[in-house]
Amino acid sequence: MSDIDESVRAELTRLRESIDNIDAAVVHMLAERFKCTQQVGVLKAQHQLPPADPAREARQITRLRQLAENAKLDPAFAEKLLNFIIAEVIRHHETIADETIADEATADETEAGTDMEEKD
């Protein structure tokens, strides 16, 4: 890269710094999104709701494809990205549901043990 014109190098550096800033913002936005979806997962687990909601997912895909088109982003890419995120969210929701079931079983066992001790 030593034979690149200095003005080109400066512009490349400027653009790459912008890309780095955008990447950081994307990561922070995804972190915020996952904080919200974790709360959804807890709520679903507490009320024995399924981890996946195919109707909502379909609405979100349609919505995101439209947003992508309006933003001049490839809608197929946006859909692939959302499908990846949705799959991760569902995996988290399944884990939360499994942990909730395990916690409830442990609480039931503890309660049963306490009841037995009271009878003795």
Alpha carbons 91 and 55: distance in angstroms, whole number:
17
pLDDT at 54: 97
Which pair of structure tokens corresponds to residue 51?
Answer: 């981890």
Q: What is the pLDDT of residues 56-76, one digit of tens each?
A: 999 999 999 999 999 999 999
Residue spans of the chain under pLDDT 70: 1-2, 114-120
> What per-residue confidence (pLDDT) applies to 120?
60
d(CA 12, CA 1): 11
Give the global pTM: 0.78
Cα distance between residue 14 and residue 67, in whole Å: 28
